[in-house]
A and B are shown apart, each in its own frame.
Chain A
Amino acid sequence: MVRVARRILHGLLLLLGVSTLSFVLVSAAPGNFFDELKLNPQISASTVASLKMAYGIDKPWPVRYERWLRSALRGEFGYSLSYRCPVGTLLWPRAQNTLLLTSLATLLAWMIAVPWGILEALNRGKWLDRIGGGVTAIFLAIPELVLGLLFLLLAARTGWFPTGGMFSSHGAEAALLGKLPDLGIHLVLPVVALVFGAAPLLIRYVRSAVAAVLDAPFIEAARGHGLSTTRIVYRHALPAAANSLISLLGFSIGALLSTSLIIEVVLDWPGLGPLVLESLLARDTYVVMAVVMLSSVFLVTGNLLADLLLYASDPRIRTV
């Protein structure tokens, strides 16, 4: 329990540090939201100054940081100047959409990567492994951006899938249950693009983790006892390989969040990606900050979960 509490505390401190880091970075940016107004001859300099004062952006950054922390504790995360509302209300629906996308993609990518990786590890050096290795190498070299564009082309050419968004315009009024198929068809392309982006690396790692275990003497012994391959893989090799795979889970969440940002922009999924891009272009500082923070929360939580899972699954760690 002490270990768990310490890990959670560590995560919270890390998030505080990340918030300071990103606040300093974003505050160091030249220009602010009201710069456009200054160019307008009909708006006097004093109006701009009083606007700045009203929103508190004339203060030095430590003061603003303190204010921001307070509002973050209230769940507001500052005030969005372009949307004219607290950032929190802007953030939650977007964050839910991103989470829906990434968690589905993580699940699918692992469901593909584990059996495939095991299959490759069992057939090391044979044609199956070679072809599999070639395919993953090629997919590793295709940037997610290009994958997204190709899927967009597929949607535009065939009309089988919607070219963006989360719901069709006519489906918006339907009841919740009626919406689900609509949501499902909108999810297909972004999820598949994310899976194609994430799975090749996972397959590689699973393959090498399982392959390393398969070389161990205890597997030789199990083979010598005449156990079936299935039993060896699932009862002996996988639990031993689980350690490195679970560490990989935390890492894969971080990678997927970055990929998701791009895919969301290309395929127009209303998640955090388009939001952060719009606010970056509008110099809407607090929204950028909040999104960056939130991505870090996801990543730190993912790592924490992986750590706890490791703790639960590997008795060797518990003795420390």
Chain B
Amino acid sequence: MSMNSGHRQLLLLFSLVLLHVFMVVPGFFAPYDYSEQNRELPFSPPTRLHFIDSAGRFHLMPFIHPFRASEDGSAPYVEDQARAYPLHLLKDGAPYRVLGLWTARLHLFGVEQPGRIFLFGTDDFGRDELSRMLFGGRISLLAGILGAAMAIFAGAVLGVLSGFYGGWLDGLIMRTAELFLALPWLYLLFAVRAILPLHIKTTQTLLLLITVVGLVGWARPGRLVRGIVLSAKERNFALAAKAMGASNFHVLRWHILPGTYGVLLTTAALLVPQFILAEVTLSFLGLGVGEPVPSWGSLLAELQNYSVLTSYWWMYLPACSLIVLFLTYHWASTTLQDKVAEVRS
């Protein structure tokens, strides 16, 4: 199980790309639309894939038996052995938008109507949990990435201004950063969330949420960048450029900023999970994305219902995707950190 660091980095890159492909085109991987309801199948357990039929023959492509309500009441649902639907790869189904630009109908997998495949079960409206999880990931991950990008951008601009120009500007920016850091981040998030109206439309919610969570997080990257700029501007290469008549902008752009990229990238890898968590927390508490649009936070919010919490284990699956994503991002940040340290020494 020994892997050299090159292989490990390839694996990391592959996992990151895969996770983000899910985000860009959730509609392709999801068999159904996130809002498609099956009122006769609320809280259906995950559909089982079968490889061997009743006659004992083996099928390379698995097939499913649809669930139907049981008559004897021993379990809410039983498999209808009389009917079987083979799984199809690359099957046409419900239309979805790709990047908001064009419409596609092709799905990675699906079964013939009226068969239904719910690999992760269904929720109280009989909506496919897998589809909701994938579409929810799009919103949560987008919130995390855009939030981190905003924080990094604001932090970089303010940090550079503060470190490069110094004086009263430095004092002002750093005191403000202290204010932001004197509030525990979740409480700060709550205070900022209080600005936004309570009930807003989903797309607006998302955009506002992202802007807001980004603004909240500038202080930490800002401080980091300031420290790097402070030390870099006294280094000989920066002084030499200055002595040769380079403008402030030139020195900043070509001699000082490149030194901050590694640290900024590492910070970004740490911030994305944190901002995803911000989105998840707000939506979980009913302050973020709401019905019918799913996000990982609003999917987890269903667990606040006692019977869902204790009876339907598949409703926990969005939490697993959250953990996998966090593991990958943490891994990325430690790898980047090692890289930065390697380059420095």
Contact = CB atoms under 8 A, between A and B. Distances in A.
14 contacts: A18-B179, A22-B191, A25-B191, A28-B195, A29-B194, A137-B327, A145-B300, A146-B323, A152-B309, A153-B309, A255-B184, A258-B187, A295-B187, A299-B184
Contacts of A74: none
A288 B330 contact: no
Contacts of A254: 184-185
B51 interface: no
A114 interface: no
A131 interface: no
A141 B309 contact: no
B330 A141 contact: yes
Interface centre among B191, B284, B300, B327 (most CB of A within 10 A): B191
A149 B281 contact: no
A45 interface: no
B194 A288 contact: yes
Nearest to A265: B285
A138 interface: yes
B330 A280 contact: no
B187 A14 contact: no
A106 B191 CA distance: 25
B125 interface: no
Contacts of A255: 184
A157 interface: yes
A31 interface: yes
B165 interface: no
Contacts of B192: 25
Contacts of B287: 280-281
A315 to B, nearest CB: 26
B88 interface: no
B190 A149 contact: no
Contacts of B331: 137
B198 A292 contact: no
A292 B277 contact: no
Interface string B158-193: 000000000000000001001100111111101111
B280 interface: yes
Nearest to B192: A25
B19 interface: no
Interface string A207-244: 00000000000000000000000000000000000000
A22 B188 CA distance: 8
Contact of B179 (A21, A140, A288): A21
B187 A262 contact: no
Interface in A145-159: 145-146, 149, 152-153, 156-157
Task: Give the contact-size bracket for chain B.
Answer: 35 or more
A296 B300 contact: no
Interface centre among B193, B300, B309 (most CB of A within 10 A): B309
B303 interface: yes
A109 interface: no
A130 to B, nearest CB: 11
Given A17-B179, A138-B327, A262-B186, 13 more contacts: A14-B179, A21-B179, A29-B194, A31-B198, A143-B326, A145-B277, A145-B300, A257-B184, A261-B184, A265-B285, A289-B191, A295-B183, A296-B182
Contacts of B300: 145-146, 149
Given A21-B179, A152-B309, A280 B193 contact: yes
Interface string A237-270: 0000000000000000011011101100100000
Nearest to A251: B181
Interface string A17-50: 1100110011011110000000000000000000
Nearest to B199: A31
B186 A31 contact: no
A142 interface: yes
A309 B15 CA distance: 44
B183 A18 contact: yes
A291 B310 CA distance: 32
Contacts of B198: 31, 281, 283
A157 B310 contact: yes
Contacts of B281: 145, 262
A203 interface: no
Interface string B270-313: 00000001001100111100000000000010010010011000
Contacts of A17: 175, 178-179, 182
Interface centre among B184, B277, B322, B323 (most CB of A within 10 A): B184
Given A265-B285, A280-B287, A29 B195 contact: yes
The 9 closest A-B pairs by CB, nearest first: A258-B186, A141-B326, A257-B184, A295-B187, A258-B184, A141-B327, A146-B319, A292-B191, A17-B179
A281 B190 CA distance: 11
Contacts of B182: 14-15, 17-18, 296, 299-300
A226 to B, nearest CB: 33
Nearest to A288: B194
B123 to A, nearest CB: 16
Contacts of A299: 182-184
A28 B212 CA distance: 14
A156 B280 contact: no
Contacts of A21: 179
Contacts of A145: 277, 280-281, 284, 300
A31 B197 CA distance: 7
A292 B180 CA distance: 12
Contacts of A259: 186
A296 B187 contact: yes
A29 B327 CA distance: 36
A142 B188 CA distance: 22
A166 interface: no
Contacts of A14: 178-179, 182
